[in-house]
Amino acid sequence: MLNLQEWIEQKLCELNLVERMEDPHGYNRLGYTEEERKSHQQFIRIAKELGLNTYQDRVGNQWAIWNVHKTAPTIALGSHLDTVYNGGGYDGVAGVLSALAAVKILKDNQFTPKKNIAVVCFISEESARFGVSTIGSKAISGELMIEELEGVRDRDGITVKEAVEQMGVKWEDLTDATLPLSRLEQFVELHIEQGRKLQDCHADLGVVTGIARPTRLLVTASGIANHTGTTSMNNRNDALVAIAPLVQYVSELTKHINKQEDPHLVATVSTVDVKPNSMTSIPSKVEFGIDIRSVDDTAKQSLVTKIKQFCKEAEKKHQVKIEVETLVENKSVFLDDTIKSKLLETGHQLGFKTELMVSGAGHDVMNMATRWPSGLLFIPCRDGISHQPKEYTEISNLVNGTKVLTEYLQIEAKQ
Ligand SMILES: [Zn+2]
C-alpha cells in the first residue's frame, strides 16, 4: 500500500495527465477544453476510488461528496484543475489533490463525520483563454455577469458560449447556477502561494487574511505626430516624452508608500501601446495600462489620486492631453476570521511554522467568500514562481497542507 507521500505523488501525475512531473513545456489545460475535461475525469476516478459520490453542477464544476445525511451541513474544500498556456502542474491541482488526500486519510482512519464533506474542482479558473477568471466559482456564488460573458472569444474566435456548450453544459443553465446558501456551510481552499514570502521567512504554511483585488487604469496621452527629422526639439507635442516619466513615478512612489505605511501595495505599468510606432514619427498617442493591488483599498485610491495629479502636471508641461480612465475597481475580499484563526491554530498545533499573510493573486475562494464563510491556506512554491513550467512545490509541502486540512476537517465535521 502507498504511504501518503507516494499516494500524493501518484495522484498529482494522474490529475496532470502525465507519467512524471517534468514537462519542460508545462501544462495546457485551458478552461472548457478537452484537456480540462480529461483532468476532471481523473478527479472523478480518484474520488470514486475513495468512495465519494460525484456529479457535475450547472456550470461544469465537478463535485465529489462524502454524504452522511441530506440535511447535514456541508463543508467544501477544493480549487481548480485548469491552467494557463504552458502553465505549471501545481496551481489549482494542489488544492484539489490535498482535499482528496485529506478525505483519504479520514477514511483510512475510519473517521465518521457528522457533516457532509465535499471536494470541488471549479471549472475555468484561469483567465488565460477568455480573459475572464474564476467562471465556475463566480457562477455558483452568484457573481457571474452572463450577459457580459456570452460574446467573449478566445484566440481562435470561439465564444465562451460555444466552448461551454461543446463541454455539454447548457448555456441557459449557467444563468441559473447559483447555489442556495444552505447548500454549503463553509469553503476552504489550499493553493500554492505564487509569491516568495513563505520561502523567504522559512515558513511551512500561510493563512490568508485577505485577497488584494486590482484597480486598473488606462492612461492615454495624446500629442501630435510629426516628422522626427524636420521638427525641432522645441516645437513638439511628444506624447511619449510626456508620459514616460510616469513609469518610474508609479514604481518609486509605490515603494515609498510601502516604506512608510506598508499596505502591501503593488503597482505596475504593465502595458504600453505607442502610435504610430514608426521610427520616423514623433509619438502622437501613448496608452499605459496600470495594475494596482493591495488589500488596503484606501491605499489604492490614494495612489490613483497621485497618478492623476502627476498626469495633470505632465499635461501642462508637455502640451499634450492626458486622460486617466478606471477600467477595473474591485474591492478587496476579506476571509472569515473564525476559519482563519482555526487554520492558524491547527497549523501551530501540528508544529508547522504558520504565518498570517495577504494574497496578491485572486483565487476561487474570493467568490466563495462573498456567499459563504471561507478560508485560504497557502503552501510555499519554489522561488515564488508560477504560471510557467518551472512552477514547483515539494511533495512534503503538499503533505503538510493535507495534514492541516485533515485535522481541520476532523474538528469541524465532528460536531
Ligand atoms: Zn490557481
Residue 415: the pLDDT is 74
Inform me whether the pLDDT recorded for 175 exceeds 90: no
Residues 301-319 have pLDDT tens digits of: 999 999 999 999 999 999 9
Where are the domains positioned within the chain?
4-211+332-412, 215-329
* Interatomic CA distance for residues 290 and 322, integer angstroms: 14
Q: How far is CA 112 from the centre of its chain?
A: 33
Lowest mean pLDDT among 142-151, 229-238, 353-362: 142-151
What is the CATH code for 4-211+332-412?
A: 3.40.630.10
If you measure from the C-alpha of residue 124 to the centroid of ligand 1, how many angstroms do you get, rounded to a whole number? 10
If you measure from the C-alpha of residue 94 to the centroid of ligand 1, how many angstroms do you get, rounded to a whole number? 9
Residues 44-88 have pLDDT tens digits of: 999 999 999 999 999 999 999 999 999 999 999 999 999 999 999
Q: What are the Cα distances from residue 198, in Å, to 1, 98, 213, 380?
A: 33, 18, 20, 6
Residue 338: the pLDDT is 98
The mean pLDDT value of the chain amounts to 96
- State the pLDDT confidence band at 34, using cuts at 50, 70 and 90: very high
Helix (H) / strand (E) element for 146: namely helix 146-149
Residue 14: the pLDDT is 98
What do you get for the CA distance between the two ends of the chain, in Å? 31
Inform me whether the pLDDT recorded for 261 exceeds 90: no
If you measure from the C-alpha of residue 67 to the centroid of ligand 1, how many angstroms do you get, rounded to a whole number? 27
If you measure from the C-alpha of residue 89 to the centroid of ligand 1, how many angstroms do you get, rounded to a whole number? 10
Residue 150: the pLDDT is 84
If you measure from the C-alpha of residue 377 to the centroid of ligand 1, how many angstroms do you get, rounded to a whole number? 12
Residue 146: the pLDDT is 87
**When comparing pLDDT for 261 and 36, which is higher?**
36
Residues 211-228 have pLDDT tens digits of: 999 999 999 999 999 999
Q: What percent of the chain has pLDDT over 90?
A: 92
If you measure from the C-alpha of residue 387 to the centroid of ligand 1, how many angstroms do you get, rounded to a whole number? 9
CB atoms within 10 A of CB 273: 12
Work out the average pLDDT over 405-415: 95
What is the CATH code for 215-329?
A: 3.30.70.360
By residue count, the chain amounts to 415
